């Protein structure tokens, strides 16, 4: 059974247990007497800036390019940000709306209790808390229904108990909030100044007596209390949303059963276990984490972390219209760090690296639907900012899918749309759905490729350069220090992204039998892009030229995109760049790189792709040991919850055990010595195949391959030998692996 557990109450919101269905979310925490549910709705962003517009600046492009051609990086960086970043550079800063807390539901017992245990059952997506009163145990249960969509809470005891329910919201000087209470429920109504409005409605049913006491509902003599909480937001037809629930004691068990069955189907596709985990004296998650930090075995903890990442993916996306933001769907603040927004230069992509391999296309759908909403604004941004056709996406955004450049100093980057092309292309590679590719995938990819047709500029040597360009969030000394991010010509990442996007566009056109001439042009453009350059010291150049790193240990690894998540550089393809990237990673780590949770997750993915099992294990261990709460929530320094490390770690584990590059499956590419025996099953790969593997004593032992729509798959074993499996779609082939392999 996949659970997280603790014998102690949480010390803070960040030590809570998250529940969600994508639309709604609740972080469950509290103390000895209180259960606190911090509530969220995926569409609840302040909404003050949802009408923001793009300030035209295309006529300034050649001016910036002129300074870049002269090698005047400092002036180019300053000018590019003034012209192309953040409201035209007139008002430095961000107009991204912050994601908001909806409110807080609190249940407080009338008498003191002794806290016994709290558990997150990840298979059934339910939080359970046990307390002890003088006479009996009081059980709390919370789940966010992924079948019908409401937050449910139940308190139950064999003996009669009493307590109070109340709604509240964090102090907010820029909002008006009103509370109302009746004997059957509570309601919170809130209006943001100049923005959205929302309501939280909690309907209560109990066999006890109810009485209104100020802003609380006092309940006495109950053996059970059931509360259904719904949230409505003005952009989603608030009152219609609130009418979607009812509460009935007799229906509760059936509602939970339907919810658990659906969630289990999503979670049940993949299994991961390690056989060497010793029995624990304290089997709680907190106990395992403490022992691991003291040098004990981390196998049980790592399997829990893997499953928790999959749980968070489902809980933030399974019924969602919006993808997981920097904190998934969980936030308790009115002014959260980084606005709890969407960052398009690694964080949002990392959130969904594991969706397709884990067989969770319904979760990936939330990301793809969100990106499709950028088509109009992205086209406007391409035209008004750079005078180009096609589309571009910003470095950061919010629920409103606006391609306005925000975050003055960071925002002059045109590579985001190209990066997301990979997610659209992967949906096709994993599903084989040609109708999807025609109607949804190709239009997005084609628009990104079309932008490059106009944006790329040919130099005197016939090379198509990307300018202005940047390596997201990093800089170099020659940029002058005026801006936090350096502007250059053809950064490594931008070239790699353009190469991928143009390739995906050409392949998609060929698969659909359309745009043959454009496909030829895209392939020709790829050949004229700058080379993937290697510096004099053997490292992959980050900025396309021999420039001086200002921060050698920077947390971003943008120039290594070609290794992971891309497959541009592998041990079989572009071997020189693959080895240069390996040196680049080693150098960055030696200078202190990988110093955030998400960065550790990316490093673990890269080390796995490099086939370095011990490097993979070192950074996965550091991610869990140094950047996690007692409930395994990922932390960004200085202790801010950020979900990307949780989700990226799942992708890293899969990459270490069942990797896919160069058109084949690689088994145990980066198996660490600490995992001598185990099992990973249900992993999806391109072609629609499913791969399941058991290994013993560091060697592959049992392999099962489910044939996909491509009818054949090649598997590479740890000794370098390969075997091709063929069959009908849906057919499973078992392979007993000889000991020599």
Nearest to 202 by CA among 270, 157, 164, 151: 151
Kindly state whether residue 504 falls inside one of the protein's structural domains: no
Return the residue matching tokens 């030829």. Answer: 520
Q: Which two tokens stand for residue 483?
A: 């801006």
24-30 vs 34-41, strand pairing mode = antiparallel
* Mean pLDDT, rounded, for 338-361: 97
Q: What is the mean pLDDT of residues 288-292?
A: 94
Strand partners, 103: 39
Which CATH number goes with the domain that contains 113?
2.70.98.50
Average pLDDT over residues 702-711: 96
What residues contact residue 257 under an 8 Å CB cut-off, 6+ apart? none
Q: Which residue has the tokens 């571009």?
A: 392
Query: Would you state the pLDDT for residue 245?
Result: 61
Question: If pLDDT is split at 50, 70 and 90, which confidence band does 239 have?
Answer: confident
Reported confidence tier of residue 687, pLDDT bands at 50, 70, 90:
very high
Task: Let me know if residue 677 belongs to a domain.
Answer: no
Classify residue 147 by burial, with Cβ atoms within 10 Å: 0-12, 13-18, 19+.
Answer: middle
**Contact, 3 vs 127, CB < 8 A?**
no
pLDDT of residue 740: 59
Q: List Cα–Cα distances, 383 to 377, 404, 451, 472, 521, in angstroms.
A: 10, 12, 9, 22, 21
Assigned token pair, 456: 């790329």
Residue 240 has pLDDT above 90, yes or no: no
Q: What's the rounded Cα separation, in Å, for the pair 311 and 330?
A: 14
Round to whole Å and give the CA distance between 222 and 204: 12
Instruction: Tell me if 185 is assigned to some domain.
Output: yes
Average the pLDDT over 147-165 and give the result. Answer: 94
Residue 33 included in any domain: yes
Mean pLDDT of 621-647: 97
Angstrom CA distances, 82 to 87, 282, 410, 413, stand at 9, 57, 11, 13
Distance of CA 482 to the CA centre of its chain: 32
Is 674 a member of any domain? no
Any domain includes 112: yes
Q: What is the pLDDT of residue 93?
A: 74
447-465 per-position pLDDT tens digit: 999 999 999 999 999 999 9
Q: How far apart are CA 128 and CA 688, in angstroms?
A: 37
Query: Residue 263: what pLDDT?
Result: 96
Note down the domain range covering 13.
3-46+98-267
The confidence score (pLDDT) of residue 308 equals 98
What does pLDDT average to over the chain?
Answer: 95
Work out how many domains the chain is built from and give that number. 1
Is residue 174 over pLDDT 70? yes
For 535-591, the pLDDT digits (tens) are: 999 999 999 899 999 999 999 999 999 999 999 999 999 999 999 999 999 999 999
> What whole-number distance in Å separates Cα of residue 129 and Cα of residue 126?
10
Please tell me the distance from the alpha carbon of residue 259 to that of residue 542, in angstroms, as a whole number.
47
Going by C-alpha positions, the residue among 39, 42, 33, 44 that lies closest to residue 13 is 39
Percent of the chain with pLDDT over 70: 97
Inside any domain, residue 717: no
pLDDT of residue 252: 92
Mean pLDDT value of segment 235-252:
78
Return d(Cα 530, Cα 488) in angstroms, integer: 13
Strand locations in 446-601 (E): 457-458, 464-465
pLDDT over 60 at 741, yes or no: no
pLDDT by residue (tens digit) across 370-400?
Answer: 999 999 999 999 999 999 999 999 999 999 9
Q: Which pLDDT belongs to residue 248? A: 72
Dihedral angle sign, alpha carbons of residues 707, 708, 714, 718: negative
The pTM is what? 0.97
Q: Confirm whether 541 is domain-assigned.
A: no
**Look-up of token digits 């220090």:** 481
Please report where in the chains the tokens 């791969």 appear, as a residue.
691
């Amino acid at each position: 059974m996949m659970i997280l557990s603790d014998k102690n109450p949480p010390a803070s919101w960040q030590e809570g247990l998250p529940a969600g269905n994508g639309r709604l979310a609740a972080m469950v925490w509290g103390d000895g007497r209180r259960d606190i549910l911090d509530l969220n709705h995926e569409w609840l962003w302040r909404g003050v800036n949802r009408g923001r517009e793009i300030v035209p600046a295309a006529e300034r492009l050649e001016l910036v390019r002129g300074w870049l051609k002269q090698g005047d990086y400092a002036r180019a960086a300053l000018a590019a940000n003034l012209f192309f970043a953040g409201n035209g550079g007139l008002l430095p800063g961000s107009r991204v709306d912050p994601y908001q807390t909806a409110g807080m539901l609190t249940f407080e017992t009338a008498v003191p209790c002794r806290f016994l245990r709290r558990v997150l059952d990840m298979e059934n997506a339910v939080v359970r808390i046990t307390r002890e009163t003088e006479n009996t145990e009081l059980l709390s249960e919370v789940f966010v229904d992924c079948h019908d969509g409401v937050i449910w809470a139940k308190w139950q005891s064999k003996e009669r108990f009493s307590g109070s329910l109340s709604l509240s919201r964090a102090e907010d000087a820029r909002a008006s909030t009103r509370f109302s209470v009746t004997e059957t429920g509570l309601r919170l109504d809130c209006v943001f100044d100049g923005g959205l409005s929302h309501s939280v409605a909690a309907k209560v049913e109990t066999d006890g007596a109810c009485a209104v006491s100020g802003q609380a509902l006092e309940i006495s003599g109950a053996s059970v209390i059931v509360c259904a909480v719904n949230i409505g937001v003005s952009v989603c037809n608030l009152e219609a949303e609130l009418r979607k629930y009812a509460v009935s004691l007799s229906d509760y068990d059936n509602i939970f059963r339907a919810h658990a069955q659906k969630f289990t189907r999503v979670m049940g596709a993949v299994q991961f276990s390690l056989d060497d985990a010793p029995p624990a004296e304290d089997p709680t998650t907190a106990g395992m984490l403490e022992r691991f930090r003291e040098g004990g075995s981390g196998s049980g903890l790592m399997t829990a972390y893997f499953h928790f990442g999959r749980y968070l993916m489902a809980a933030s996306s399974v019924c969602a219209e919006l993808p997981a933001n920097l904190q998934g769907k969980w936030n308790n603040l009115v002014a959260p760090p980084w606005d709890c927004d969407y960052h398009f230069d690694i964080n949002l992509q990392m959130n969904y690296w594991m969706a397709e391999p884990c067989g969770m296309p319904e979760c990936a759908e939330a990301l793809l639907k969100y990106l499709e909403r950028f088509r109009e604004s992205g086209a406007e941004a391409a035209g008004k900012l750079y005078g180009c056709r096609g589309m571009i996406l910003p470095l950061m955004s919010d629920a409103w899918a606006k391609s306005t450049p925000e975050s003055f100093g960071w925002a002059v980057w045109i590579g985001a749309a190209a990066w997301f092309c990979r997610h659209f292309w992967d949906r096709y590679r994993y599903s084989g759905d040609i109708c999807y590719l025609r109607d949804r995938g190709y239009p997005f990819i084609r628009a990104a490729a079309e932008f490059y047709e106009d944006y790329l500029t040919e130099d005197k040597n016939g090379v198509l350069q990307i300018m202005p360009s940047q390596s997201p969030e990093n800089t170099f000394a020659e940029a002058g220090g005026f801006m936090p991010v350096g502007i250059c010509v053809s950064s490594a990442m931008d070239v790699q992204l353009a190469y991928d996007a143009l390739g995906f566009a050409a392949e998609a056109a060929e698969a659909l039998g359309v745009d043959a001439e454009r496909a030829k042009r895209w392939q020709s453009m790829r050949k004229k892009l700058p080379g993937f350059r290697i510096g004099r010291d053997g490292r992959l150049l980050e900025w396309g030229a021999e420039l001086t790193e200002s921060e050698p240990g920077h947390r971003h690894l943008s120039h290594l995109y070609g290794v992971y998540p891309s497959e541009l550089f592998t041990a079989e393809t572009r071997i020189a760049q693959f080895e240069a990237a390996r040196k680049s990673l080693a150098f960055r780590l030696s200078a202190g790189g990988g110093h955030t949770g998400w960065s550790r997750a990316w490093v673990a993915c890269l080390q796995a792709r490099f086939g370095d099992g011990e490097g993979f294990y070192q950074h996965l261990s550091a991610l869990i040991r140094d950047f996690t709460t007692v409930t395994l929530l990922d932390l960004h320094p200085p202790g801010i919850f950020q979900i990307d490390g949780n989700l990226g770690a799942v992708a890293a584990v899969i990459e270490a055990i069942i990797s896919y590059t160069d058109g084949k499956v690689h088994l145990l590419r980066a198996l660490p010595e600490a995992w001598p025996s185990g099992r990973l099953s249900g992993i999806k790969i391109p072609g629609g195949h499913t791969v399941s593997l058991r290994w013993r004593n560091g060697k592959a032992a049992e392999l099962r391959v489910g044939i996909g729509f491509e009818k054949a798959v090649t598997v590479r074993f740890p000794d370098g030998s390969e075997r091709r499996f063929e069959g009908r779609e849906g057919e499973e082939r078992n392979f007993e692996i000889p000991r020599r392999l």
